[in-house]
Amino acid sequence: MAVTITIPTALRQYAAGNATVSLDADNVGALLRGLVEQHPVLGKHLFGDDGRLRSFVNVYVGDEDIRYLQGETTPLKDGETVSIIPAIAGGKQ
């Protein structure tokens, strides 16, 4: 079952410049770990030392934040799109 994961611009340099990657995965956790297996440097930007997804990394299945679904165990369907959206802070008022 192929799922497409979109890589944000800030992380593409760690994913061989790819904007998207297609992988076979049953759930979000397996998809992210498959992505890191292909692009190991990406791992430290997505996961903490404890192996958990970093709090500032938002992951969406379609338009739904996985935090409000089943987290990394959120099931995936063939053809689905998963997006990594890093939190952005800063700026000036």
Tell whether the model's pLDDT for residue 85 goes beyond 80. yes
* Residue-range domain boundaries for the chain: 2-86
Give, for 83, the enclosing helix (H) or strand (E).
strand 81-86
Q: Within a 10 A sphere around the Cβ of 9, how many other Cβ atoms?
A: 8
pTM of the model: 0.89
**Which one-letter amino acid corresponds to residue 45?**
H
Residue 43: phi and psi, rounded to 5, are: -55, -45
pLDDT for 86 equals 82
Fold of 2-86: Ubiquitin-like (UB roll) (3.10.20)
pLDDT for 87 equals 80
- Work out the average pLDDT over 15-43: 96
Report the SS3 class of residue 42: helix
